[in-house]
Amino acid sequence: MGLGERGGWDKSESRYCGVETEFDDDVPRLLSFNLSSTGFDFVVAPLTDPTYRPSLIEADNGSSHVPPFAGSDLVLSPAQWSSHVVGKISSWIDLDSEDEILRMDSETTLKQEIAWATHLSLQACLLPSPKGASCANYARCVNQILQGLSNMQLWLRIPLLKSDDDSPDVDSDNLMDSWELWNSFRLICEHHSQLSVALDILSTLPSVNSIGRWFGEPVRVAIIHTDSFLTNARGYPCLSKSHQKLISGFFNHSVQVIISGKPLHSIPAETIGSAANQTDNNMNSTLRHPLRSYLDYVGYLYQRMEPLSEQERIELGYRDFLQAPLQPLMDNLEAQTYETFEKDSVKYMQYQRAISKALLDRVPDGEASAATTVLMVVGAGRGPLVRASLQAAEETGRKLKVYAVEKNPNAVVTLLSLVKLEGWENVVTIVSCDMRLWNAPERADILVSELLGSFGDNELSPECLDGAQRFLKQDGISIPSSYTSFIQPITASKLYNDVKSHKDLVHFETAYVVKLHSVARLAPTKPVFTFNHPDYSTKKNNQRYKKLQFEVPRDTGSVMVHGFAGYFDATLYKDVHLGIEPSMATPNMFSWFAIFFPLRQPICVQPGSPLEVHFWRCCGSAKVWYEWCVTSPRPSPIHNSNGRSYWVKASSNTEQVIVDSFRCDLGTRSKLRTVTDVLRHF
């Protein structure tokens, strides 16, 4: 039984709630008490008797022995073990102890319990938190185990704790940031994808910025202790506003909740029966689980969350999946891709607004009946911008002559049919040609295009519009008139591991389109490259270089930078803009996802240390590519030097691929998908 479904469609793992239990050698009874009669979905239970020590058994018996596991594997079905039990590794183990006997006992027990959990086909085991700041031997042993695991996840228990530097009651010599503990552990384990975090939620929370780091880390569960709950006016447990916000954030990131601890709230006797009846009419109030009121409250938080919008529901399955960038200059788009982009009504409304303003500026009211504005749509596709232009002309009462220029012969077929269907033959002229090769019969007053990529210029909008600019009047208007790319450093553990899984250099030197979700945005965005149109400069050059310095807020603590998220913002005309830069993104627009530039080796940034990054846009005779590197706090290699791994071909040739050396597996094993594949599901 989950916490309740949001709108009857939610399949998120976060709707399942577990309970941490004590050791019980009667596992069926343990499950019956905590699951069947209560509503919890799984138990986190110790696998062996907590008094067990291998060295004591060996001293008594002097021979091999069988650890005191919690019952035979036959007491539950394989499905029950897998679905309802998470193994809790003995909490006493300390693999970094100075006591050699304890250290050896700990290593033996850890390996025995993991082996038993593997035999039971458990989905996950909860590892105890490291006992001190040094965890090298513990991490080494876990890393050994990870090399042999097939599917099971290991959840490392980490308290959500960070002391504030300026807190008057904190000893500066004993400042504690539990993220540092996790970071040391996962670095020793080489960012292994089966090592995750189980966050212990305490009664006091660190700063919002410090908490934000964890949303880019592989957090699988949040363990809420009963002593973290407050008491409401009716005597029931509740959480503070900051705790509520944190748990809601975890729900949105598919993090499961586990209730831990003993009941600390005395529910008024007269309300126990009624509360139980409201929750489960078939449950006798005398059998009420002591932690039921905590589960009910967590369920209440889950059920009151806002349902996802239709757009979010469509994108749900594609969050944090790497996608090969769309290349409309090189490839002819398919009908399904056109159809998806044409559904983005917000984008075309913005274009229509911009064209209307340009028409009003171009033709005074007194000349509206006589003057005809020549408007060229370059890259017309199947005609949405042509329609937006004609609607703007009708809205403003201006006369229009439209040239629709499109290189895709398949889209031209649709355009011809549309013109005939709508009766636009006297207004719209269709040109089947690459805009850079067309010899226009006259010059345009307004040039309209939608050649922008996720990073603004990454689909070669500057090169295309430079080629088309020759048939724009000297005082003509380009829509868009300018666009700027932006980047920001992010923690993105999942994306990093997906790139790393390919085990080659090429994938680390490729920019990916991705619907960012499980990421931590570590600093505000900063502008990178800007392009203006029309550009009449005598020394026109689309190469760019930018050095940027980011400051991570000091109260965040140390952070791990896995790469950079890229966005764009475009000025269509005057005050009409569209874009995906987070602080000023156009609402409800879905034509673009962000772009991700990975780092071959993640960079750890300490509080107060600047993060300095360099970006280049390089242009060759036949291709355009990006290069990037970090120089502070430590230097990284130049990524994609000379466009060796990834580039955009600056020519229309459907027989060539954009990245000749980009040999990625697009099968079910790979997390890499093309944008077209994703859009088919919208």
3-state secondary structure 146-192: HHHCCCCEEEEEEECCECCCCCCCCCHHHCCEHHHHHHHHHHHCCCC
Which domain-ending residue is among 261, 288, 308? Answer: 308
Which contiguous run of DSSP H or E holds residue 563? strand 559-573
Q: Are 383 and 413 contacting, i.e. CB atoms less than 8 angstroms apart?
A: no
CA distances 233 to 244, 267, 274, 407, 460, Å, are 17, 11, 17, 69, 62
Share of the chain above pLDDT 70, in %: 87
Q: Is residue 4 part of a domain?
A: no
Q: Within this chain, do residues 319 and 466 fall inside the same structural domain, yes or no? A: yes
Domain residue limits at 442: 312-682
The per-residue pLDDT for 215 is 97
Shared-domain flag, residues 303 and 320: no
Which residue in 113, 459, 463, 509 is the catalytic one?
Answer: 459
Distance CA 209, CA 200 (A): 18
**Residue 469 is assigned to a structural domain of this protein:** yes
Q: Do both 517 and 440 map to the same domain?
A: yes
pLDDT confidence of residue 173: 42
512 in a structural domain:
yes
What separation in angstroms does the CA of 479 have from each of 174, 344, 384, 547, 572? 58, 18, 15, 29, 5
More confident: 658 or 375: 375
Three-state DSSP at 119 gives helix
The tokens of 567 are what?
A: 């966005």
pLDDT of residue 297: 95
Local structure of 348: helix, strand or coil: helix
Range of weakest confidence among 230-234, 285-289, 329-333: 285-289
Say how many domains are in the chain. 2
Burial class (CB in 10 A: 0-12, 13-18, 19+), 343: middle
The domain boundary, picked from 279, 308, 337, lies at: 308
pLDDT tens column, 621-642: 889 999 999 999 999 999 999 9
Residue 3 within any structural domain of the chain: no
Nearest to 235 by CA among 201, 272, 260: 272
DSSP 572-600: EETTEEEE--GGGPPTT--S--EEEEEEE
Active-site option among 450, 509, 581, 627:
450
- Quote the pLDDT of residue 258: 97
Element of type H or E holding 237: strand 237-238
Q: What is the pLDDT of residue 13?
A: 74
pLDDT tens string 21-79? 999 989 999 999 999 767 899 999 999 999 999 988 765 555 557 788 888 899 999 99
Measure CA 197 to chain center.
Answer: 17
The answer to whether residue 367 is catalytic is no
Helices 345-362 & 384-396 angle (0-180, nearest 10): 50
Residues 661 and 645: beta-carbon distance below 8 Å: yes
Structure tokens at 604: 């750890």
- The answer on 295 and 318 residing in a single domain is no
Q: Is residue 1 part of a domain?
A: no
Asked if residue 257 and residue 387 are part of one domain, the reply reads: no
Q: Are residues 443 and 304 in the same domain?
A: no
Same domain, 426 and 562: yes
For residues 380 and 271, state if they share a domain. no
What is the reported pLDDT for 3? 59
CATH number at residue 327: 2.70.160.11
Give the three-state DSSP class for 285. helix
* pLDDT reported for residue 165: 53
Residue 2 lies in a domain: no
Q: Are residues 286 and 333 in the same domain?
A: no
Q: Is residue 138 part of a domain?
A: yes
Judgement on whether residues 62 and 195 belong to the same structural domain of the protein: yes
For residue 665, tell me if it sits in a domain: yes
* pLDDT tens digits along 156-212: 999 999 876 544 444 444 458 999 999 999 999 999 999 999 999 999 999 999 999
Instruction: Report the CATH number at residue 87.
Output: 3.20.20.150
**Contact indicator for 292, 38 with CB cutoff of 8 Å:** yes
Residue that terminates a domain, selected from 292, 308, 324: 308
Same domain assignment for residues 394 and 507: yes
Q: Is 20 a catalytic residue?
A: no
Reading the block at residue 393, the tokens are: 């002309």
Calpha distance 380→335 (Å, rounded): 14
Q: Are 350 and 480 members of one domain?
A: yes
Between residues 13 and 386, the one the model is more confident about:
386
Q: CB under 8 Å to 104, separation ≥6 — which residues? A: 54, 55
Q: Is the pTM of this model over 0.75?
A: yes
**Among 219-223, 329-333, 360-364, 619-623, whose mean pLDDT is lowest?**
329-333
The dihedral over CA atoms of 274, 275, 278, 279, expressed in degrees to the nearest 10, equals -140
For the chain, the average pLDDT equals 88
User: Any idea of the CA torsion for 461, 463, 469, 471, to the nearest 10 degrees?
Assistant: -100
